[in-house]
Amino acid sequence: MNTDIRPFRIDIPQEDLDDLRARLGRTRWPRPLPGDQWRRGVPVDYLRELVEYWRDGYDWRAHEARLNGFPQHTTEIDGHEVHFLHVRSTAPDAVPLILTHGWPNSFVEFADLIGPLSKDFHVVVPSLPGFGFSAPPSGTGWDAARVARMWAELMDRLGYSRYGTQGGDFGAYVAPEIARIAPEHVIGVYLISGLGFPTEADLPELTEAERETYTALMSADWANGVDHHALLRAAPQTFAYGWHDSPVGALAWMVQKFKEFNASGKPLEEVISRDQILTNTSVYWFTGTFGSSAWPYYDSSGFAWPQGAPGVPTGVYSGPPGIRRLAERHTRVVHWAEDNPGGHHFTAMDQPDHLAADIRKFFGAVSREGSGW
C-alpha cells in the first residue's frame, strides 16, 4: 500500500464547465403540477430561476479558487484514494480535530467553519469515500466503522496521537465510531445533533413533556419529506442515471433535501445561500458522485439514530429534540447545549461562528479536565 501524502488541487477542465452550461441551457422543463408551492416538490419557477443563476451568474472558478485556498491532499487508505483538507493552526497548543461531513453534503460544508476553528485547532476534513474527490467504495459492505478505521489511520499518518472528532448527519455515526475503535487516541467526540432522540420504543418511559418532544420530532418536515433512506437503499442505481445526466434533475434533488433538512423556521434562501448550495452541487456534478455517495444507505439494513462512544467525553451542539437522559444510556455526555442558534441540518454552513465557539468551549473543557475522565 502506498502511504504517501500527495498535494492536491481542484482544477475542473473548462470543457466540463462548458458542458454544464450547455446542459442547463437545454433543459426540458416540465409543466407545473397543481397544488400549493412545494406541495408536489420543488416549484418550477423557483428552480428555473436558480438554474438561470447557476448558468449565467454563479462563478465556479471563484469558489474553486476559494476551496484551493485550503491545503488539500490525497493518500491511499484501505485501498482507496482519500481526499482531505489539512489546515494547521499557528497556536502552540492547538488540538487536532477531524471533521466528518454527511449527505447530501461534502467537504464544502465546512468551508466557512475552518477559518474560525483553525485559530485553536489543526483541522482535518476528509471527503467520505464516494463523495467529491475521494474514490468510491470498491465493493459492498461499507459502514461507519470502516470509515472510522480509515480516519484513525489518516490521523496516525498525519502524526496525531491525540485528537478530537466531530460530525453531523452521517458524520454523527463516524465520529463516535472513531472513539470506539481508537479510544486511547480520541480526547472527545463532538456532534451537531442526533443523540438521545426518542423512538416509539421509548414512549412508555417518557414524561408528558418528552412525549410532546417526540410528537414534534415525528411531525418535522425533515422526518416526513422524501424518504431518501428508503429510496437510496432500494434503487440508487436507477436514480443515479437522472442525477448523473441532468444537472437540473440533480439540483432539484439537492434543493428538495436542503429544504426538508432546514428546520430553522426560515425560508431556505435566508439560511443557506444560493452559492453554498450550488458549490456543493457542483462538486457532486463535476466528480460524478451522486450515485456513489448513496452507499451509506444502500449498505444499511435500516435506520437508527446515532449513539455515542461509552467512556469518551461527548459534546452536542444542539441537544433538543434529543433527550439527555436517553443519550446518557450509551454516551458519556459532558456538554449538552439547548439554546445554540441554527436548529437545522446544516449548522456548519449557517452558523459557523457559533459552532466554532461551542466546539472550542467543549474541547477547552476536555483539554483542561481530561485527566479526570
Active site (catalytic) residues: 169, 297, 345
Distance in angstroms (rounded) separating the CA atoms of residues 224 and 260: 8
Residue with cell string 482507496 = 80
- In whole angstroms, what is the distance from residue 278 CA to residue 258 CA? 11
> b/e for 182-206, b at 16 or more Cβ within 10 A?
beebbbbbbbbbbbbbbeeebeeee
CA distance 124 to 170: 17
Helices 60-67 and 274-287: crossing angle in degrees, nearest 10, is: 80
Closest CA to 109 of 360, 363, 309, 347: 347
Cell numbers standing for residue 352: 459557523
Q: For residue 356, how many C-alpha atoms fall within 13 Å in the half-sphere facing its CB?
A: 19
Q: Which residues contact 79 (CB under 8 A, 6 or more apart)?
A: 1, 138
